[in-house]
Each structure stands twice: as structure tokens, then as C-alpha cells.
Chain A
């Protein structure tokens, strides 16, 4: 069992949790993820590691589906049934001078350790962060500690540009030249970020979050087509160069269990 040492609401949909998991923390690096099971009947859900401190692992999750909502009902002092990792490959930090990080929604969580690592290695880092409203922005204070500039896009215009991150990208690229972009957020956002960057001849690393079960390369549920090859996001990723990712196929794979997920949510409400 894995004890919850701290829990904070980052906004009404997103929580941060610090979990005591020494065997996950020991070898964890930026880009690694964990898989947890809330209880004996729980499904295995993957979450990127946001921070490591000593024997403690910080995760950030959006209460969107049955299992994350259930996770959100736990409190400080409660225990999580299973918590395993570090999984996946650590982020590939490229040899560049100026990087733009693009975060969409809760994607700001997995992006944080990666951008921090770029900054630690002396790379100049800017952040473009998008969310539905000002209230949905997360981790901005943490980013302020090392980012040179932070740009905002919100759907309602409550802070920064009213619109999508791609709207801001155009303006940025007109004035600033970046060597590389790291984009993490909803699949649909990453798809359009990559598409635009291709027009600017700009490379983009993305972090993919397909459905996973074991997370160790066993089931193949998380497979993604990149170019003409198939990769398993759990052991080959979750970070990949975005240029050749088949986002449309991945979007279909991700929504394959949407109806079943809905049923599960109904069950949670009834309890």
C-alpha cells in the first residue's frame, strides 16, 4: 500500500497528490510515468510523474473518468492499493539553445519536469500554456521559477489571448525563433501544434497517453503508428517525435471505450 502524504486542489477538476513510493522514486527521471490502482477492483491507470523528492512521488490528475474521480475521493493519510514505476523511457533532452514548451490543460503536469530539465541544462525556455479559463491554468508559479517568458491562451479570454495555443504560436513565431518545441496536452492539440510546426520547419516532441493496462510492454493496447512502424507508448515512449505520429488513429483508439467509461461513471454516481 502506498500512503498519500499530501493533496492539493489545483483547480476544481485537477488535484495534486504526493505519494510515498520509494521504489518508484529511486530510479525515476523526467518523462517517466507510473501506473496506479486505487483499490482491489480498480483499473490500472497511467499518470506522468510531476516531481520526485526523496522517497515521494508527485502526480497530478484530472478527475475526468471513473478511476480518476475515485482517486480524487481519497484524502491525506489514505493509501493507494498499487503504485508502480518508473515506467517508460526518460525524456530525450535535445541539444538546443531555445525551447518553447506548449501545455494544454492538465498537460502542464507532464511538461513541467521536462522543461525544468531543459532549463537545468542551460537551455532558454519559454512556455505557452492553454486552458479553458484562467481558473483552469495549473502550475504557473512552478513554471515562473525557470521560464523566461510565459504566454497564455484561454478559450474565454480571461487571461492572455482569447483562443487556442495555435493562435498564439503564429504571433510568437513571427517575432521569436525557437530551435525546438515540446508540446503536451490533449491529442487534438498536439496534432495541430505538430501540423503548424511542420510548416515552420520546427521539430516537436509530444507525450502520448493512450489507454494502457500493464504498462510494461505486455498487452499492446497502447500501440501507436509512427511512420510505417508500430510502437508501444509504454516502453518506447511516452515521448515521441510528433512529426509522423498517426494522431487520427490514436484519437480513435483512445475513444474506443468511451461508452463503457460512461457506464462506469453512472455507477460512481449511484453509490
Chain B
């Protein structure tokens, strides 16, 4: 008989709604080895190609089965410098696990859970990879300490460069710190992973807004950086563009999540407040919407509902997050499109939505939501808009020759921007996507930066 997929243990779905503890508890060693033993070690594995940073998955699993946990961890770390994070937040069902041969007829190997196990094992037991870095004393600057920047920084450092990361906020990690909540990605995991990069010799500078504190031009010409990588992400919230959107009580997910994740407003020691009320609507169906809804619940909101203009099958969020949201009594009100906020004294009271129906498939392959002319209203105390983000305009506004498209995304050719020596990757190029795609872009851009520097020097 085939061994079934080892279930990830989770916190009780009722109790966990009252705290920010991590929902998925993680495998024990026995569970991890048991799950690893399900791998078929295929002759032509599909999983590696499906991973944006091409982790050698069969190899690390083989080492795990042989109880060589250090070796297994090092195998991952060669390609992925944030295993504890990616194990938790990657959409594995669309990547490695989605292409696992076992998944064709049954359940794929839980690759993400195994990666997380090894990452956490290394953090707890302080396993460190030894790098033999041959210093070349050439300075490169990295803008943004999110997944793209960290990944690019690590790759450049391994090649011997002196790497400085500039972060606009007061803490490092970008979206990993301000965006993703503790119950999905504990902040100490992020801090620990980033500290490993400091051990590698990478310098991180907080409170540095490139484009303001220093411009790209100053970095290149005054401070002698030979190449720069822009990984400043997609931080600008997309508006609904409906009447009443600026009433108090209407948040963009960025504000709401930043208040909680970065500023820790849910803790009594924090001096940043948060106000949410009992009835909370969340607009959108992606990971950010799930995070916002589940966070609202944990802050004490009684009724939290998602407003989404398509149906359940079209939700773009990671599967596990949707399951967890359902378990936590988040109500999914589907085929509804907000058209107006109704307020009193500039404070939001109700949201008016148009009922949608599904028409023909659009360019994304999903059926397009069509207006019906029928409207519904819901009483709310607050609303969290989570319908997407675009790149922050500060870099574009302060850098005259930096070419961007009509959505503000930096235009690149083989990771190089319109300015020689300036490279870019991650959400600032692609628009809001995933942690692992940003990491892949950072890693690939590093190769091009290295080539460029060797060419000009």
C-alpha cells in the first residue's frame, strides 16, 4: 500500500483565532523522514524545473532519508537562501508539488513542508554553511531588503562582491516583515534568515530611501557602486476608484497589515493603534486578502467576509490559506463587486456591491465577471481593500532616465534597466507576484550584474 501524504499538524481552528501564533506547526523529525521517503527519486524529475530558483529537490530529499540533515539543508541553501520562508509561503501546488509525478495519480510529496523542516532545523541547531568567499572589493548596492534584494545580495556576495543593502523602513525583510502576518510567517524566522546573510558578510542599512536619502546617480558616481540592483517591490496600493473610498474605516491592505505586522499594533507595548470594529469586509481574493481577513478576525472582529467578484474556483490565493480562512469562519461572499462606500460624517457605514455573473473566459483564462445591474448593501465598520499593488513611484520620480511602463513597472532587458549598470527584478519589474519569483529574479539578475562588471572593469 502506498504511504499517504503526511498531514501538516495545525493549531485548533477556534483557539487560533484569538492569537497570532503560527497556524501550521511543522513536522517532527519522524514525520519529515516519513514524508521524504515517499519521493520516487524519478529518473527525469519535473520538480526542479518547476522551481523558480531550481532547488535540487530529489538530492535534498535523498539526503534527508539518509539522515544527513546538514547535507540536505546545504543542498537547498545552495539555490535558496530563505528555505524557512519559502517552505511556508511558496505556492507549492503551482510549482514543485504541482509537477511531482506522484501527484498525477495521487498526492504529491509535501516538498514545501520538507523544505521548511530543514530550514527550521538549521536555524534552531545553528547549522551554517561555510562559504569560501574570495573578496574582490568591488562595491554593489541593493535597493530593498525584500526577497528579490536578499536573493540578489546573497548571489553577489558568494561571487566575492562587497554588498550593501538599502532598506527604506526601520526593519529588514520588505513584504516578509510588513506584509505577511505572524500566523503564517513568524517574524523571528525572517529575522533569523536575514541574520545568516549578515554572517555571510552582507551589510544592511535601514532608514535609507534610495531616490530620497541618496539617489541612484549619487550611488554610482559619488559612492562608487559599480552596479545596482533595484528590488524595491510593489508597495503602492491599487485603489478601487469608487465613491467614498477615502472615508475613515476604509483601509488599503498595506496600511492595515503594516499597522499589525511591522508596527505590532496588536500588542499592548506598541504605540501604533489599530481600529477594526465588528463587521469587516475584505475586498479581493489573493493571499493579501486572506491575510487581511484572518488578521481582522484575530483582532476581534466578529464577522469578517471576503467580497470577490468571481467565484471560489478563481480565487488566486494559495490553497492552504483559503482552507485556513474557511476553517476560521471567514465568510466568502462571491460574485460581488464593490461600487460605493456609504458613510456618515466621513466614517464608513455600508458598502454597496453590484452582483456579478460569469461570462466568457478572459486573457487570464478565467471567466470574466459581468455586471448584472442588481445591487446589495452590507453594514460594515471597516473595509480592507486588497486588490493589488503596483511599484512605488519614488525611484521613477527621482531617476530621470529610468524607463517604466504605464503601470510604473521598471522596464528591463535581460534584468538590466535603461540605465547601464542598474539592474532590477522582483515585483518592481513583474508587478505583485510571489516571494519565490522575486528570489528567482534576484538570483538571475546577479549573474547579469557579474557579467556587466567584469565587462566594464
Contacting residues, chain B, for A81 (C-beta < 8 A)? 170
User: How many A-B contacts are there with CB distance less than 8 Å?
Assistant: 121
Is B67 part of the binding interface, using a Cβ–Cβ cutoff of 8 Å? no
Contact A261 B273 (CB under 8 A): yes
Stretch at the interface among B50-58, B113-121, B211-219: B211-219
**CA A84 to CA B207, docked complex, whole Å:** 5
Q: Which residue on chain B has the smallest CB distance to residue A232?
A: B236
Among residues 242 to 258 in chain B, which have CB atoms less than 8 Å away from a CB atom of chain A? Answer: 245-249, 251-252, 254-255, 258
Contact A41 B269 (CB under 8 A): yes
CB distance from A231 to the nearest CB of B (A): 10
Is A253 part of the binding interface, using a Cβ–Cβ cutoff of 8 Å? yes
Is B33 part of the binding interface, using a Cβ–Cβ cutoff of 8 Å? no
Is B201 part of the binding interface, using a Cβ–Cβ cutoff of 8 Å? no
Q: Could you list 9 A-B pairs, sorted by A, with CB under 8 Å?
A: A37-B170, A67-B271, A81-B170, A216-B235, A219-B254, A221-B255, A248-B346, A249-B346, A256-B249
User: What 0/1 readout, one digit per residue, does chain A (1-37) give for beta carbons within 8 Å of chain B?
Assistant: 0000000000000000000000110110000000001
CB distance from B383 to the nearest CB of A (A): 13
Contacting residues, chain A, for B259 (C-beta < 8 A)? 213, 219
User: What 0/1 readout, one digit per residue, does chain B (1-27) give for beta carbons within 8 Å of chain A?
Assistant: 000000000000000000000000000
Assess A216 versus B254: contact at CB under 8 Å? Given A84-B170, A230-B246. Answer: no
Contact B213 A84 (CB under 8 A): yes
Is B203 part of the binding interface, using a Cβ–Cβ cutoff of 8 Å? no
Assess A216 versus B209: contact at CB under 8 Å? Given A81-B170, A230-B239, A230-B245. Answer: yes
CB distance from B29 to the nearest CB of A (A): 35
Is A83 part of the binding interface, using a Cβ–Cβ cutoff of 8 Å? yes
**CA A128 to CA B354, docked complex, whole Å:** 51
Contacting residues, chain A, for B160 (C-beta < 8 A)? none
Contact A256 B248 (CB under 8 A): yes
Is A77 part of the binding interface, using a Cβ–Cβ cutoff of 8 Å? no
Is B345 part of the binding interface, using a Cβ–Cβ cutoff of 8 Å? yes
Q: Which residue on chain B has the smallest CB distance to residue A86?
A: B212
Is A43 part of the binding interface, using a Cβ–Cβ cutoff of 8 Å? yes
Contacting residues, chain B, for A220 (C-beta < 8 A)? 237, 251-252, 254-255
Contact A218 B236 (CB under 8 A): yes
Is B270 part of the binding interface, using a Cβ–Cβ cutoff of 8 Å? yes
Is A260 part of the binding interface, using a Cβ–Cβ cutoff of 8 Å? yes
Contact B206 A253 (CB under 8 A): no
Is B189 part of the binding interface, using a Cβ–Cβ cutoff of 8 Å? no
Contacting residues, chain B, for A87 (C-beta < 8 A)? 209, 212
Contact A217 B212 (CB under 8 A): no
Contacting residues, chain B, for A257 (C-beta < 8 A)? 273, 275
Q: Which of A41, A43, A85, A213 contacts B212 (CB 8 A)?
A: A85
Contact A260 B235 (CB under 8 A): no
Contact B271 A82 (CB under 8 A): no
Is B37 part of the binding interface, using a Cβ–Cβ cutoff of 8 Å? no
How many positions in chain A have a CB within 8 Å of any CB in the partner chain? 43
CB distance from A198 to the nearest CB of B (A): 22
Contact A84 B168 (CB under 8 A): yes
Contact B213 A217 (CB under 8 A): no
CB distance from A252 to the nearest CB of B (A): 3
User: What 0/1 readout, one digit per residue, does chain A (250-271) give for beta carbons within 8 Å of chain B?
Assistant: 0011001100110110000000
Contact B393 A235 (CB under 8 A): yes
Contacting residues, chain B, for A248 (C-beta < 8 A)? 346
Assess A27 versus B214: contact at CB under 8 Å? Given A216-B209, A230-B246, A235-B393. Answer: yes
CB distance from A46 to the nearest CB of B (A): 13
Is B263 part of the binding interface, using a Cβ–Cβ cutoff of 8 Å? yes
CB distance from A151 to the nearest CB of B (A): 34
Contact A66 B237 (CB under 8 A): no
Q: Which residue on chain B has the smallest CB distance to residue A253?
A: B248
Q: Which of A42, A235, A246 contacts B394 (CB 8 A)?
A: A235
Is A214 part of the binding interface, using a Cβ–Cβ cutoff of 8 Å? yes
> Across chains A and B, which 8 residue pairs bring their CB atoms closest together, nearest first?
A260-B273, A252-B346, A219-B255, A84-B207, A220-B252, A256-B248, A218-B235, A43-B272
Contacting residues, chain A, for B258 (C-beta < 8 A)? 213-214, 218-219
Contact A218 B170 (CB under 8 A): no
**CA A214 to CA B209, docked complex, whole Å:** 11
Is B434 part of the binding interface, using a Cβ–Cβ cutoff of 8 Å? no
Is A225 part of the binding interface, using a Cβ–Cβ cutoff of 8 Å? yes
